A and B are shown apart, each in its own frame.
Chain A
Amino acid sequence: MPQIRVVNVSKRYGSLTVLEHVSLNVEDGEYVSIIGPSGCGKTTLLRCVAGIIDPTEGEIYVDDKSLVGVPPEKRNIGYMFQEIALFPHMNARENAGYGPRVRGLSRRRVRTMAGEALEMVKMSERSEDYPNELSGGARQKVALARAVGSAPSVLLLDEPLGSLDASVRLSLRMELRRLAKELGLTAIHVTHDQEEAMSISDRIVIMRAGRVVEVGKPQNLYLDPRQIFTANFLGEANFMRARLMATGENGAILDVGGEELNIESRTVPRDSVVAIRPQFIRITKRQVEGSGWRGKIAEKTFLGDVVRFQVNLENGFKITAQMPPTAQDVDADVGDEVSANFQRDKLLTFPCPTEGLEKELSAW
């Protein structure tokens, strides 16, 4: 199964640049997600790999063979669309067997392959149904069967779950990964839903304004992002300006709005931005001699599996904290005075962005 290499691909439409010098490697059998804000170019990149769009510059290699000038029908790929795009005049079985059929295989072979594909997605019972008789989730399963039915080596998915209900998305996303792994396919999955990306990918590619920001394993990108955009786009984070006060053997001391913060050592610039995710903050009802920063609860929201607090800190910053309903002091209420404690190993520091924090975090 192939290795996919995207080398310095750019795509321009007149004066509009959609992709800029994008390079990417996907290993054999890997399941990679590409996420990013709307308009970041992720779908364009996928279409370049599929051959639906030709890049203005750059090359794409599959197993070291260049795909320049190779039309989509010769690339041996399976593609899934956000709009699902099942052929309305064919039933599920005919849709699933379309790939083998247009490759000229015998009618018997086509039937067998279609049957197997539908079996893999557990849609055999609905093989005679037409798309307009199936629900959204069922249709997407048939589309998956169709995509893998022609035995491709690469699976490309363009927001495949975007048009489905939240609950259906949840159950279908694992199916995608399961099938890809079972068949040993190399997969690239474009989505704007980061939870979806994190739960099923081996690695995630973060894109922004036509460029790749960062690539890594979900866990690493989440716990140890190298770029400030990643820290904000993947999950959420509280950001605070900081100034270096002193460095020592065990770490550094930062001045954050007047409060002191000990962080584990890393090369910390003089002006930096400190980030901490809401779920790595613990709120405790104020004690006399407590560590942590003091503040007052401005808002409290119950979300079921978590409780969120908006806390106005005394150092001027406003932060969001998130705790499970089983945590201690989760019964603190709006107006209460509390202490906010951060998990030290989860604190992140970034150099202060030259164009300003807000610009750096925005989609463009």
Chain B
Amino acid sequence: MPSIRLISVTKRFKDNVALDRASLNVRSGEYVCVLGPTGSGKTTLLRVIAGLTQPDSGQLLIDGKSVDEMGPEDRGTAYVPQQYALFPHLTVLQNVAFSPLAKGYKKAEAFEIARKVLQTVKLAHREGAFPSELSGGMQQRVTLARGIASGARLLLLDEPLGALDARLRMELRTELRRIAKDLSLTAIHVTHDQKEAMSIADTIVVLKDGNIQQTGSPFHLYQDPASIFVSSFVGGSNFLPGVVVGIEGTNSLVELRDGIRIRVHQRSHRRGEPVILSVRQELTILRNHADEKENAIPGEIRGTSFVGDAIEYDVELDNRETVKCKVPSYYVSEGSLPFQTGERVFVTIDPHDCNLYSEPPLGLAKELEAF
């Protein structure tokens, strides 16, 4: 189970910086997800580790040894690219046996290894089929099997579930983790889908424009997103601009538009500094009544959307800002929703549930631009 260390790796393509001094530590046996939007550098990161792209600067250590001089065939990595992974002219068995054969095993032994691995991914019964005869989900499992059969201890997966439909993605992602854990492999799994990352990763690395924005467990990333980008990319958040008007102990008092004040359990900015207050949509609680002590903002429900496990309410606060509140559908009683469009409500926020960030230099709207 190798450990991987990237030290300040940079890679430029013409005038585009794909990786900017990226540093990363992956412990042996860990399942790491690299999360980021398209173009953030995730594929480049994987290819650098696999040895398919040479970095301009920085170091790469696998199990403490520098691999800068090693070709891709000697690094002990199983690389699963986004598409075109299987050799179309070979059968499933020949595909999976490719690596053992290439490494010098005799045919009989190689096929023996291949069959065993195919058992692990439950595709032994299709060994004679060609890739074009298999469904998307099956193809991915064969690709995985082929990587495993190479004896690689490091699994590099580039959007392995990208081409599959939502349902299949959910089923297969836990498979991936199970196989990696059962075989004691270290895995680096690249994706743009935060739900996928949150559900199977030990550690998530958030990448934007070649920069690692944050590294941490799903829980950590959720509770303490290091930046506005991480906060909006991992789970959905509400963002409200304001100014710090007071500091009491470990709390800050933030004044939003039109004088509404919120107490936040965070002390990171000075009085007078403009900040952005962020709170998760599911932690933006709706109530019919408010207590004095709580951070309670009155508002009116403008839109209701039932999305299955939750109801999303668009609330226009009295200070003309809008927030989204996610109420679990648990609170639907006898078929009727807990709140209706047009209702007057109070939006309450626990001081421990919000985070403060400095105002982004280009403005909040630019920072949150999805594309």
Contacts and interface: CB of A to CB of B under 8 A. Distances in A.
Contacts, number: 107
Interface in A136-154: 136-138
A231 to B, nearest CB: 12
Interface string A273-287: 000011110000000
B70 interface: no
Q: Which of B167, B332, B337 has the most CB of A within 10 A?
A: B167
A135 B371 contact: yes
Interface residues of B, number: 44
A224 interface: yes
A280 B193 CA distance: 25
B114 to A, nearest CB: 28
Interface stretch (A50-58, A88-96, A193-201, A350-358): A193-201
A165 interface: yes
Interface in B239-294: 280-283
B308 A324 contact: no
Interface stretch (B75-83, B96-104, B322-330): B322-330
A305 B235 contact: yes
A222 B306 contact: yes
Interface stretch (A7-15, A26-34, A166-174, A238-246): A166-174
Interface stretch (B125-133, B150-158, B180-188, B194-202): B194-202
Interface string A320-364: 001010100000000000000001010000000000000000000
B252 to A, nearest CB: 22
Contact of B371 (A136, A222, A234, A235): A136
A16 interface: no
Interface stretch (A59-67, A113-121, A296-304): A296-304
A192 B167 contact: yes
Interface of A: 37-38, 135-138, 165-168, 170-171, 192-195, 198-200, 218-219, 222-224, 233-235, 277-280, 301-306, 322, 324, 326, 343, 345
Interface of B: 37-39, 135-136, 165-168, 192-195, 198-199, 218-219, 222, 233-236, 280-283, 305-310, 312, 326, 328-330, 332-335, 337, 370-371
8 contacts: A165-B37, A167-B233, A193-B165, A198-B306, A198-B307, A199-B305, A219-B306, A279-B328
